[in-house]
Amino acid sequence: AFHEQLRRTEGGEEFIFYDGPPFATGLPHYGHILAGTIKDVVTRHQSMRGRHVMRRFGWDCHGLPVEFEIDKLLGITNRQQVLDLGIGKYNETCRGIVTKYVAEWEAVVTRTGRWIDFKADYKTMDINFMESVWWVFGQLWDKDLVYKGFKVMPYSTGCKTALSNFEAGLDYRTVPDPAVMVSFPVIGDADNAALVAWTTTPWTLPSNLALCVNANLVYAKVKDRSNGTVYIVAESRLGQLPVKAKASGKKQAPSKGSNAEAVQGGLDTESYELLAKIPGSSLVGLKYTPLFDFFLELQDTAFRVIADNYVTDDSGTGVVHCAPAFGEDDHRVCLSAGIIEASGLVVAVDDDGHFIEKISQFKGRHVKEADKDIINAVKDKGRLVSKGSIEHSYPYCWRSGTPLIYRAVPSWFIKVEKIRDQLLECNKETYWVPDYVKEKRFHNWLEGARDWAVSRSRFWGTPLPVWISQDGEEIVVMDSIEKLERLSGVKVNDLHRHHVDDITIPSSRGPEFGVLKRVEDVFDCWFESGSMPYAYIHYPFENRELFEKNFPGNFVAEGLDQTRGWFYTLMVLSTALFGKPAFKNLICNGLVLAEDGKKMSKSKQNYPSPMEVIDEYGADALRLYLVNSPVVRAESLRFKRIGVFGVVKDVFLPWYNAYRFLVQNAKRLEVEGLTAFSPIDQASLRKSSNVLDHWIHSATESLVSFVHQEMDAYRLYTVVFSGYFTWSCFHLTMLCQI
């Protein structure tokens, strides 16, 4: 029936639907069934109205999810093991599991009643798809929207790769972490004072190159009465300094003058004496004694106080220790202060999350495992002011389950900030259900959009089409296979790394300049996802007319989390390429949760199997239960098995019983020769003098009009029971006539 529908509508008005592809390395769950049902309802309706709706199933094939499965399978724990194995063998192993559950997906999707073409599917690992991805990047390069640089990014030491900000937000956990205050003696201070910084990442202390204060805050210099040590912290954070135990058990009354004022700021005057108040601006430029001697060669430019407004007085001490390779703000302020330019960016942690040789005292140690030893080393140096712990929300890798670190990585970037205003304008041209997701969540995300790091130092993905000379002076970007073959003289049948890494290009400057080699990086798989509207039909190499007559696409639908994922990458690339949004209409669904409101978990078995529910109640009942719930307007749904049964009981049984009663009576009357049961003739209804006939006709036309109106507005949640109510009345009326 599906293919016959496609045949009958062929040549008609196109309704372009983009289907965001899943990975076939796992089995479908309720979230997939929900999104698939929404897509199916809309595309079926458009087909019923005579439009040609091409529905090709797609598969995500590249990226971290696949590599992570292979790493577990092969016992790979570091990058060198992949190189020792061989990128070719590794990639072919990845290729082998990409379609692991394709048959199961097709069975489940078909069983849920979704009409979609599996035979004409597309895969992101297909050479045609990959070539279009190259074309997209080539267009961005030509528009001067690409550059290479360093950026501090969420980094998974478990998967040995940087993650997008979207991926970093997928798994936050409330965990305890060490919280320490460390002293940094100011060189040349008359009171031998030390600035005190607070940190929850002791592993970054060996890489400290600066301290940052807020020039607009007031700082206080206080003396520890027990040992004469002098500290400098923000005045409003004085109460955070450690307090010695009182021998008398009585608290000393505040003294008059400046000390009394300090008590109001939280200073324990029995433990500390206020020496002076200092404007933050006067601290800028002070030099201090480094905590470790790993980077003593940088003393001329590093180990000084800088200022920025990102330092606040709502936590810590008002003094922030800066390790420019391990914090986004750290990197930014050290860059603007000239510390990175003068000393170079020192990344003291390797791709596996271990300290490099230069950090001799902790070399080879994983950063999170070294926290305790680093704290002990700080204590041995007499620089530990206090030690404690803090429970806070911290990001974990959504694949490996390991805590993320923030680490500077070299990457190729898309200049998203340059087109930010265009993104906001393109967003205005789209229609969302619900609209508040567009106007608030998505708008705010676009408003704060930053340059997008699109490269990954991995293996199984679409390679960056960038060939560069050894001196870095000559760069060639390939935007087609034909261009690569023409410049290299090599026939290309596959674009994966192990097929193109060894292809070189002669320098256009002459043989004395050697050859150009491809950079090692592959694309972030989100770049492939954002390229989908072009790549799934191999545009611009094929289907030019189809694409150019029907872009932007008519409809997309995915979950709320895709506001920072697929919806975002679609919008960025379409705006950069064409100055248009990629889609006109969008339905954003919420999350399907377990009955107790928690996330559905295979390990906890807190939800029934989708196929079990379908086999018991039918796919239609499950579909109607999902579509008629708040989840189709971006709210959460606590999945209840009894809710699916409720649809059977309240919708399908009354429907079926009314229909059966009508047919049985019509057949009885026909057998008795009293009447002939035939389809209702619209013209006869209009001529009829029976008021019920007119009501039936009116109700039917009203229903059709209402369904068209609401479906055109993509409000699926208003259609289901309105139609049920009207048709129930219709059946009852027919029974009355009999």
Active site residues: 21, 60, 526, 562, 566, 599, 602
d(CA 11, CA 376): 75
Please enumerate in sequence order all residues whose Cβ is within 8 A of that of 641, keeping only pairs 6 or more positions apart, or say none.
Answer: 595, 608, 613
Q: Strand, coil or helix: what is 226?
A: coil
Contact 206, 356 (CB under 8 A): no
Buried/exposed 390-421: b ≥16 CB within 10 Å, e otherwise: eeeeebbbbbbeebbbbbbbbbbbbbbeebbe
Buried/exposed 689-726: b ≥16 CB within 10 Å, e otherwise: eeeebeebbebbeebeeebeebbeebebbbbbeebbeb
| Strand-strand pairing, 592-593 and 637-638 | parallel
Cα 244 to chain centroid distance, Å, stands at 46
d(CA 544, CA 532): 15
Q: Using omega within 30 degrees of 0 as the cis cutoff, is the peptide bond preceding 630 cis?
A: no
Strands (E) across 417-497 are located at 431-433, 452-453, 455-456, 466-468, 475-477
Strands (E) across 463-572 are located at 466-468, 475-477, 505-506, 515-518, 522-523, 553-559
What token pair was written down for 598? 């928690």
Say how many C-beta atoms besides its own lie within 10 A of residue 495's C-beta: 22
In a 13 Å sphere around the CA of 399, the CA atoms on its Cβ side amount to 22
d(CA 180, CA 28): 45
What are the residue ranges of helices labelled H in 594-690?
610-617, 619-627, 641-647, 653-671, 682-687
d(CA 313, CA 316): 7
Q: Strand, coil or helix: what is 270?
A: coil
Judged on CB neighbours under 10 Å (0-12, 13-18, 19+), 67 is buried
Say how many C-beta atoms besides its own lie within 10 A of residue 127's C-beta: 16
The terminus-to-terminus CA distance of the chain in angstroms comes to 34
What token pair was written down for 339? 């510390």
Contact 60, 22 (CB under 8 A): yes
> Which residue is listed with tokens 């895709």?
562
Contact 469, 507 (CB under 8 A): yes
The length of the chain, given as a count of residues:
738
